Amino acid sequence: MEFEKIRDIIVEQLGVDPEEVTMESSFIDDLGADSLDIVELIMALEEEFDVEIPDEDAEKIKTVGDVVEYLKNLEK
Amino acid sequence: MDREIKTALVTGGGRGIGKAIALKLAEDGYNVVINYSKSSKDALETVEEAKKFGVESCALKCDISNYDEVEKMVNDIIDMFGNIDVVVNNAGITKDNLILRMSEDDWDNVIDVNLKGTFNVIKFVSKYMIKRRKGKIINISSIVGVIGNAGQSNYAASKAGIIGLTKSLAKELASRGITVNAIAPGFIETDMTEVLSETVKSSMLNSIPLKRAGKPQDIANVVSFLASSASDYITGQVINVDGGMVM
């Protein structure tokens, strides 16, 4: 399942507990990420899923749900 | 001295100040990668001298002003050594002229190698340093970037640019345990300064309180300090190594 794979990457990049990562979690407000963490996370996702996420799209990603949604749309 | 063997990249490490830096880091126990753009002979000689300190060393040809070539060089170093702990952005060129006679190419080439080249290297190296939450980035600026110099507007602009780059990245990367500092050499005896006229040389010496030119070794000693854990609380600084020329 996609969510678990994404969650694992978030857990690894941000050093948070898996239980903290829900679809609603905001990277900055709930998971304590800073701007550089988000850039690193985006790069890790790009590597894992072999996609390219342009800056203008990356800027819109605020929550875990945004990532899941974004990657789902790419698959279509 | 830290026991783990670390890897350092020195751009323009085959000659002059870069060579002294590469050999000093080898003496300090770092595996040293010597980047060069033209003279493989100088670079290979430096590699052999570095190996005498019992460390690994190799020379990699790369025009640092070329973004793609730098990406490849950095990936090659990671493949060979596993990581990069210290990067010294030393490679630089001059194309001096008064502004009225300075061509667009003179301007572009100097900015491309000195400033963009420094950006290119940091761009690709920082990715690995960020992942490992540590790293030392040392940029070789110039005293000319601090005080300016008639006939060197391109060079001075590139070296002043390096100072802005250094301070910005020190702020950007501090939270990841990476320090970024610059060294601003004054008048150092190298091939680059040898071409200056006697009049220019003597007027420079007169403006130096210590009344002598510096040696590449003087710069290498400061690099050694900035690369070591002794300087862990120093970031975003420009250290003038100039015999007191600028205070």
ipTM (interface predicted TM): 0.76
CA gap A31, B173 in Å, rounded: 20
Name the token pair of A57: 């799209």
- Alpha-carbon span A36 to A33, nearest angstrom: 8
The structure tokens listed for B61 are 């040809």
In whole angstroms, give the CA distance from residue B179 to residue B169. 8
Domain count along chain A: 1
Q: Looking at the complex, does the CB of residue B176 fall below 8 Å from at least one CB of chain A? A: yes
> What is the identity of the amino acid at A17?
D
Contact B127 A43 (CB under 8 A): yes
Is residue A23 in some structural domain? yes
Q: How far is A5 from chain B (nearest CA, A)?
A: 20
Q: Are strands B7-10 and B238-241 parallel, antiparallel or unpaired?
A: unpaired
Q: How wide is the angle at C-alpha B3 spanned by C-alphas B2 and B5, nearest 5°?
A: 100
Judged by CB atoms closer than 8 Å, whether chains meet at A36 and B127 is answered as no
Q: Would residue A19 count as lying in a domain?
A: yes
**What is the pLDDT at residue B13?**
97
Is the pLDDT reported for residue A19 higher than 50?
yes
Are A36 and B176 inside 8 Å of each other by CB? yes
Strand residues in B106-204 grouped as ranges (E): 135-140, 178-185
CA B189 from centroid of its chain's CA atoms: 16
Q: Which two three-digit tokens encode residue B115?
A: 């400033």
Q: What are A24-73's pLDDT values in tens digits? A: 999 999 999 998 999 999 999 999 999 999 989 999 999 999 999 999 88
Residue of B nearest to A13 (CA): B131
To probe the interface with A, which of B130, B132, B173, B178 has the most A CB atoms within 10 Å? B130
Question: Residue B21: how many CB atoms within 10 A of its CB?
Answer: 32
Residues of chain A with Cβ-Cβ distance to B180 below 8 Å are none
d(CA A42, nearest CA chain B) in Å: 13
Is A72 part of any domain? Answer: no
User: From the candidates A40, A42, A46, which should be mutated to test the interface with B, based on the most B CB atoms within 10 A?
Assistant: A40
What is the Cα–Cα distance from B221 to B17, expressed in whole angstroms? 11
Distance from CA of A49 to the nearest CA of B (A): 18
Mutation target for A interface from B123, B131, B168, B171: give the one with most A CBs within 10 A.
B131
Structure tokens at A3: 């969510």
| CA trace torsion B145, B118, A39, B80 (10° rounding) | -150
| Model confidence at B3: pLDDT above 60 | no
- How close A34 comes to chain B (CA, Å)? 10
Averaged pLDDT score across all residues of chain B: 95
Q: Is the pLDDT of residue B172 over 50?
A: yes
As annotated, the active-site residues of B are 155
> How much of chain B exceeds pLDDT 70, in percent?
99
Percent of chain B with pLDDT over 90: 91
At residue B4, the 3 state secondary structure works out as coil
Domain assignment present for A47:
yes
Residue A1's contacts (CB-CB under 8 Å, 6 or more residues apart) are none
Which residues of chain A lie closer than 8 angstroms to B172, CB-CB? 36
Tell me if A74 is assigned to some domain. Answer: no
Examine residue A46 and state whether it is found in any structural domain, yes or no: yes
Mean pLDDT along residues B99-120: 98
Q: Indicate the SS3 state at residue B14.
A: coil
Q: What is the pLDDT of residue B196?
A: 79
Write the single-letter amino acid at A23. M
Q: What is the CATH number of the domain that holds A45?
A: 1.10.1200.10
Asked whether the predicted pLDDT for residue B224 surpasses 80, the reply is: yes
Long-range (24+ apart) CB contacts under 8 A made by A39-43 are A40/A13, A40/B130, A40/B131, A41/A9, A41/A10, A41/A13, A41/A14, A43/B127
Compute the distance between CA of residue B210 and CA of residue B187 in angstroms, rounded to an integer: 11
Nearest CA in chain B to A12: B131
With contacts defined as CB-CB under 8 Å, which chain A residues touch B175? 34, 36
Residue B117: name the closest of B235, B47, B12 by CA: B12
Write out the residue range of the structural domain in which residue A37 sits: 1-67
Is residue B185 within 8 A of residue B153, CB to CB? The reply is no
Q: What is the pTM of this model?
A: 0.91
- The reply to whether residue B130 touches residue A34, judged by beta carbons under 8 angstroms, is no
Q: Which pLDDT band, with edges at 50, 70 and 90, does B204 fall under?
A: confident
Q: Is residue A41 part of a domain?
A: yes
Residue of A nearest to B127 (CA): A40
The residue length of chain A stands at 76
B130 touching A, CB under 8 A? yes
Instruction: Give the pairing type, strands B178-185 and B238-241.
Output: parallel
- Average pLDDT of the residues in B43-49: 98
Kindly identify which residue of chain A lies nearest to residue B171, measuring between CA atoms: A36
In angstroms, what separates the C-alpha of B172 from chain A's closest C-alpha?
A: 8
Is residue B21 within 8 A of residue B13, CB to CB? The reply is: yes
- Confidence (pLDDT) at B4: 77
pLDDT band for position B173 (cuts 50, 70, 90):
very high
In a domain, A73, yes or no: no
For tokens 């070789």, name the residue.
Answer: B140
Question: Which of the four pLDDT bands, split at 50, 70 and 90, describes residue B44?
Answer: very high
**CA B81 remoteness from chain centre:** 21
